[in-house]
Structure 1
């Protein structure tokens, strides 16, 4: 069975809206579109490229797909060549025209369609697509979660973990690494069960 990877850039207070530019997602009057740009460095760039090893499909929400389709077909470089040759799957409530070569609209039962992708591809990556990611979280329909957490607070904006996230265990699978400009790389695997509870009042009372 293949893996579904979710890759997100987020602030320390969990905002993942529009990291790439002012026009990416101004919903709700969001005033900080492009917040990631001043904090990029070579370490994050190499981590992103390394994480794409073995990627054989893209799974995107409609807004992210439109942004990517408007940029990557006209770009050059390693990432552009990869994205342009990969199959692209799009989750949308509508029936948009998908003009980027290799693009397919998922059927009306998006959850079933995503599960089928695991049988078709080894490593399907969801990049950005924050609204769609909430569905994957709610259904526990992912296998890897990679976060780049940046040392800024924005106070408002769409969050990585919004209402509807179900209690879930994760397991850290790579060492946490901080880049020169403070982005903290964290990669997790979905783990079995739900979070346990205990009583901290007993700590330190033994003996």
Structure 2
């Protein structure tokens, strides 16, 4: 099995819901798009290194559908578009939905991930991340800690107890702390 790396935008109060768009309004969430004002060259360069790596993507169904609407078949010259189009995209879903975005592969359940030999990067997909964390399947977390609180929204770990060991940090010019963690042990 390849490694599973989670990459998440998170507020200081742990919210990860709808950072880049206003697509996820579950629970009456009204603050989508909160991460966009914090983008800068340092953030783009740091994340670009990970995106450019030889790996595949892993999504939950809802995030996959949002990403497909935003990036699938795009022709605007954005350098991220061909990267997303070219990568294999595994989608964990309980439904038998059709996944039509190029290079998409349905995954029936978490046990099937153990047969995938590629490294997998998870973007968004909070419900999936909580399931992966609970099953002990995450090898690394890259958390983009944004200097704001929202006071509402879905949090990354919900009610899970997750211990992390810090490996490295990068601080952007706009105050985002990019923290690289591995699953931790009890001290």
* TM-score, scaled relative to structure 2: 0.92
**For structure 2, which runs of at least 5 residues remain unmatched after alignment?**
none
Query: RMSD between aligned alpha carbons?
Result: 1.5
SS of equivalent to 2:52: coil
Give 1:52 deviation, angstroms.
1.8
Q: Which has the larger radius of gyration?
A: 1
- Residue in 2 that maps onto 1:126: 122
Deviations 1:100-154 (A, max 9, x none): 01111112xx12112222xx21x21000011111101111111010000001011
| 2:2 is the alignment partner of 1:11 | no
**For structure 1, which runs of at least 5 residues remain unmatched after alignment?**
197-207
Count of residues paired in the alignment:
185
SS of equivalent to 1:159: coil
- Residue in 1 that maps onto 2:186: 195
Structure 1 residues 195 and 69, CA gap change in structure 2 (3 angstroms): same
| 2:162 is the alignment partner of 1:162 | no
| 2:144 is the alignment partner of 1:153 | no
Deviations 1:160-185 (A, max 9, x none): 1112x2454x33222x2221111111
Deviations 1:22-77 (A, max 9, x none): 2x200000010011112221111111101223232111011110011112223333
- Residue in 2 that maps onto 1:177: 170
Structure 1 residues 80 and 90, CA gap change in structure 2 (3 angstroms): same
